[in-house]
Amino acid sequence: MARRCEICGKEPMTGNRIVRHGLEKKKGGIGLHTTGVTRRRFYPNIQCIRVKYQGSIRLRHVCMSCLKAGKVEKA
């Protein structure tokens, strides 16, 4: 399945998974310490659905935000 929306072009983004250990200062500790940073990806919610497209019915890979916003009409 494609990981890109054919309507708005939304595709996976990258970010970090941060691991912190220790007790927070406001809870009486010496503060949180970062012990690990791992790269990760955030995937959009892409669905393959039948839509009305230029007068015909086609299968398209569409993100749910476009579907909810009414940018496409389901067949």
| Backbone region of residue 70 per phi and psi (left: phi > 0; alpha: psi in -120 to 50; beta: other values) | left
59 falls within a domain: yes
pLDDT top residue among 14 and 1: 14
61 falls within a domain: yes
58 falls within a domain: yes
47 falls within a domain: yes
pLDDT confidence bin for 1, thresholds 50/70/90: low
- Calpha distance 61→51 (Å, rounded): 10
The pLDDT tens digits of the residues spanning 12-65 come to 999 999 999 999 999 999 999 999 999 999 999 999 999 998 889 999 999 999
Residue located via tokens 């579907």: 67
7 falls within a domain: no
What was the pLDDT predicted at 53? 80
Look up the CATH number of the domain holding residue 41: 2.20.150.30
39 falls within a domain: yes
What was the pLDDT predicted at 21? 96
Total domain count, the chain: 1
pLDDT top residue among 6 and 53: 6
